[in-house]
Structure 1
Amino acid sequence: MNSWGKKHTLSTRHKIITAEDNPGYTCQALTTINLIVGKWKTIIILELLDNDRRFNEFLKNIPFINRQMLTNQLHELSEEGIIDRKVFNQVPPKVVYSLTEYGRSLEPVLLELAEWNDKFGKSK
């Protein structure tokens, strides 16, 4: 198990590979992928690269995400230490999400993935 209590997994064409399949083996790339795996996590992180966001801003900027999924993804990213959730003590309550320093360190990784896709990705 990794530091967040989740199993290392990687889907291949034939099966799911887990850390339990190879005891004692650690794959740093797989650990990084597990941080951002999730249908919306990468998009949420990219949204936060240029500015902090409020919940409704995510809903506006990511039109196909629903409220429950957004809540779940934000919660997971917060638990993983990638984003910070700041609650302001006012009426009505104001909550602002931002990247932590740890989360911001994913920027070059995500940009490199985007660059790789531009060069080698296959469109559907």
Structure 2
Amino acid sequence: MNDRPLPACPVETTLMLIGSKWKVLILRDLMDGTRRFSELKKSIGTITQKVLTSNLRDMEACGLLTRTVYPEVPPRVEYTLTQTGYSLKPILDSMVDWGTAYKNLADSARP
């Protein structure tokens, strides 16, 4: 786990860990299982390699995922959620439910 001091507020702690759109999208993709770096980059889309690498390293440091490097040429790197990472599934599921309901409401309000 990371040695950063945690905020007193639990909501702030959660946001510190997953408070960027990139981290939420990485979590979304890893909920289905292990992914290679290139698979994550392709799935997420507009993220740069540098930003993806930075977010993955931060999430690894916080204990949300593990990184496995295979000694091959070219090197193969895979990412898998830890138990702590998987424990965020109810939060992501709630985001899916809320986003779906909001989208349906917005669609029905359009002429």
Shorter-chain-normalised TM-score: which range? 0.7 to 0.9
Matched residue type, 2:96: A
Count matched residues: 104
Greater relative contact order (Cα < 8 A, sep 6+):
2
Alpha-carbon offset, residue 96 of structure 1 = 0.5
Provide the aligned C-alpha RMSD in A: 2.1
Q: Residue deviations 1:19-46, cap 9 Å, x none? A: xxxxxxx211221121101230000000
Q: Which residue of 2 aligns with 1:16?
A: none
Unaligned runs of 5+ in 1: 9-25
**2:81 corresponds to 1:103:** no
Unaligned runs of 5+ in 2: 107-111
Alpha-carbon offset, residue 101 of structure 1 = 0.7
1:35 aligned to 2, 14, 17, which one?
17
Matched residue type, 1:44: I
Q: Which residue of 1 aligns with 2:60?
A: 78
Please give the residue correspondences for 1:5-16 in structure 2 after superposition, counting only pairs within 5 Å.
Answer: 5=4, 8=7
**2:109 corresponds to 1:113:** no
Give the TM-score normalised by the residue count of structure 2: 0.81
- Percent identity, aligned pairs only, is 36
Give the TM-score normalised by the residue count of structure 1: 0.74
